[in-house]
């Protein structure tokens, strides 16, 4: 009996060692959807636990992508052609069916859903909710993208102000990076498909092999017939901010 218990104990210990080793070796950024990301950043909570945390969304795309394609944003105000103004609750607005803006409007303690036709919108005022730290920068002399030599230091400097970071690129490939000291943060997430299929998240999602210009990343496109749907910012119809807010690293 004693011998049997000893063998079982050794086997259990061995399994614990194997599991621990695999957990360390398989350290990856936790994939979450764009919708989860928006809520986590605005409410400052951990995306998975829902507990309060200092959360930063880090856009690792190139400066050209960030400036010209657009950045993750929130809506501060919507002005209609009739002169009415809406202030969406939490700044969360979703583009629905290509023709409507959906959001919640707060009146006292009550909230009411609003489905506003785009044709009635005169102006939308947005604000950037991301921090731009590119994995690559532009080399003028060589006319090519080169690795950002300060990337790790810039990311690590965020640990002074944030507990949790969420990385984002165009589709969820560059955001896989862990080229920095991840232990400085309690958790590192990225916008990508939660089922583990890479390249279906980020800002614009996957093009499913369709090279047609403009197919990547817009609400209402045909993605429901695909085996893996994209969970990108654009596919979710979330607010896009056009404009540059350069990151000034403190390190």
Does 22 have pLDDT greater than 50?
A: no
Mean local confidence (pLDDT), 124-147 = 89
How far CA 206 is from CA of 44, 181, 211, 229, 233, in Å, comes to 28, 29, 11, 8, 11
Predicted confidence at residue 227, as pLDDT, reads: 85
Does 184 have pLDDT greater than 90?
A: yes
pTM of the model: 0.84
Does 145 have pLDDT greater than 70?
A: yes
Helix (H, G, I), strand (E, B) or coil at 151: helix
**For residue 120, what are its two tokens?**
């009635």
Q: Where are the strands (E) in the chain, listed by range?
A: 30-32, 55-59, 71-80, 85-86, 88-96, 100-107, 110-117, 121-128, 130-132, 136-139, 144-147, 164-168, 187-191, 240-241
pLDDT band at 153 (very low <50, low <70, confident <90, very high): very high
Mean local confidence (pLDDT), 191-213 = 86
Does 5 have pLDDT greater than 60?
A: no
Q: What is the 3-state secondary structure (H, E, C) of 104-120?
A: EEEECCEEEEEEEEHHH
* Count of C-beta atoms within a 10 Å radius of residue 193: 21
What are the residue ranges spanned by the domains of the chain?
A: 28-209+227-241
pLDDT band at 101 (very low <50, low <70, confident <90, very high): very high
């Amino acid at each position: 009996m004693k011998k049997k218990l000893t063998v079982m104990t050794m086997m259990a210990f061995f399994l614990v060692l194997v599991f621990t080793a695999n957990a360390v070796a398989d350290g990856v950024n936790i994939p979450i959807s764009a919708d989860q990301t928006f809520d986590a950043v605005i409410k400052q909570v951990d995306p998975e636990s829902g507990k309060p945390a200092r959360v930063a969304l880090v856009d690792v795309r190139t400066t050209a992508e960030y400036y010209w394609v657009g950045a993750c944003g929130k809506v501060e105000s919507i002005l209609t052609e009739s002169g009415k103004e809406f202030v969406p609750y939490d700044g969360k607005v979703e583009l629905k069916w290509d023709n409507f803006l959906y959001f919640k409007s707060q009146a006292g303690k009550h909230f009411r859903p609003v489905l506003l036709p785009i044709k009635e919108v005169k102006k939308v005022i947005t604000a950037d909710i991301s921090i731009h730290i590119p994995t690559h920068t532009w080399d003028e002399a060589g006319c090519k993208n080169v690795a950002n030599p300060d990337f790790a230091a810039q990311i690590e400097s965020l640990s002074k102000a944030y507990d949790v970071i969420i990385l984002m690129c165009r589709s969820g490939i560059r955001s896989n990076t862990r080229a920095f000291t991840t232990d400085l943060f309690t958790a590192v997430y990225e916008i990508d498909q939660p089922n583990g299929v890479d390249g279906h998240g980020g800002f614009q999602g996957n093009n499913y092999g369709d090279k047609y210009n403009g197919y990547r990343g817009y609400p209402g496109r045909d993605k429901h017939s695909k085996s893996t749907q994209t969970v990108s910012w654009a596919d979710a119809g979330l607010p896009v901010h056009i404009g540059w807010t350069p990151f000034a690293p403190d390190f």
